[in-house]
Structure 1
């Protein structure tokens, strides 16, 4: 009956409840004890029985966003990954062994096989050769990871798009009965000043159920927002300036050829602008950005404006070859449509316009008297007046 009480009081005394006994507070004595009790069991999962589950605490910090590839639908980031787990039954006294933490080679310990499901390329991050072990048996594995992961991008609202990229962390072989991931949330992020900025991080823990077993997973959702200032200055503003210039070109008189030449120059310049800035536009087979549609519509409006100028010029110089406009169409355009577009109504003129042209065939002096009022008829006979057609000034 006294034996359990003796063991209980002995465990309260410093150094008596520890599994490692150091002969002296030196590194050699501590590592000799670790060699006997720990390093020889590096192939075994650090639990007392096979039925026990090892809990691994996972923490991922986003250190930097290297780039987003719209064509390959990939995200390249630098993540500082931290894993913590306990070796059951391992501890030592800090005063007896001389330290509370040591660095141990990764090859001498059992390491959980945590991987990222969205990996697209081989891990090219720098290798870390050591992990930290404290006197309570807790192992801390901190390492940077360069991740080239798959991310389905939605570029419809480019360059004002917001992307949601997922990274799933989980053991590669060990099921949920062998290794269970627990989450240690952290909002510590090294903000970058590149094209992308981190808007938010969401973390959830889940269980992947498959016929072979259940796997513990932790999913990180990185909400990224693109900084649009570069594309606004280089793409949107120049395009809007050219469209505005094309609209103001309607103030030029249509009778001159400068208006058509000016519009053709604008179309040529806009085409060259699109060819130069084509590298800034994202290329993907999953959708077309709304900005590309805007550029296509702008180019179509410029072409339609040039066709309208050609049509007006044709009417201006070849109006004699067309029949007069019907009266109903003239009323519809000049009275009703003009009121819709807020054009002032033209006042009716009382002037009489006389066209100086050669004598029409079949038109005699007696017939002219029936068309022109007597008070205004002061012309001589057509055959007595030599009239020459006036050549228009170009």
Structure 2
């Protein structure tokens, strides 16, 4: 008997019990749809996190003050451990670092005419925009001579523009006040939206760090330093370089902990990605239970089918059908049920993913890998769970089968 004939016989047998076949498929349909939907949500979340972190500066490195222990007591001056000389040393000595900017910030009310808005002002150098991979929508960045002279100039984010200039007037050249200090707006930043932590990146004012240090905060230390590696691949080497430079400039003894912390965006990305992947695997494992239940259902139905068609099996074998043809026939029936359920599951899974994305606003990413693996799993499920009933049918004694009532 040819494979084509076996397919026709198996297909007719499946169609004879449409309701039972559909109910048998249900476990496979739910399992495959759940796996595809979970993978789509997981991959979408991972991509969203990557995009959000990249929007903060893909190669960015953060240097923050840390704590230091002396005689078992925490040093309370850890917030003042970073100086301008540290930023200059990194800029001059780190070969894997492309840009460096001191960073100080303070919170307060920004006022323009009758409008005011609570926000944060950041004191930075002109290289900050390159580190953050941030473009200007209008105007320009302040220059080094304005940093040296502690000029009262500022760039504002889109949120500040909307709140302080709600009528749509051009803010360039206009004056705003922050803690009674007047600033002339020289640039408007392009919109970035929220970051990974849900913070509005556009609710920001940028000014020369010298201006913020002297006129707003009255301090000579830095709250942090931000830098950018030459490339993402150089991020780890850049972190090691910066650590070595600061250990030298701070004269940290080998027996003491560093009074600073250096971390890259890549480390943050790896942490979030590993967490996202772990949750995705957990969700897929839970969804995979439905596939297991569906496979057991197929085995049960095929076993019942073998019992119901015992006489048919005996008759086929009596007129010359070989055992391997009987085995293939029932195995093909099992695979047809499994793959049929898989096809419907894929359709439901894609539909469910799109619905979740549109209705709840969650990021989704339907990958071809999840579709391919679903078909592979369905086929394997059909073969695995259909093998025993098919083998039992092939091993039937034709004489006993013909006598079966």
TM-score calculated relative to the size of structure 2: 0.28
- More relative contact order in 1 or in 2 (CA 8 Å, sep 6+)? 2
Q: Which has the higher helix share?
A: 2
Q: Which has the higher strand share?
A: 1
TM-score calculated relative to the size of structure 1: 0.29
Larger Rg: 1
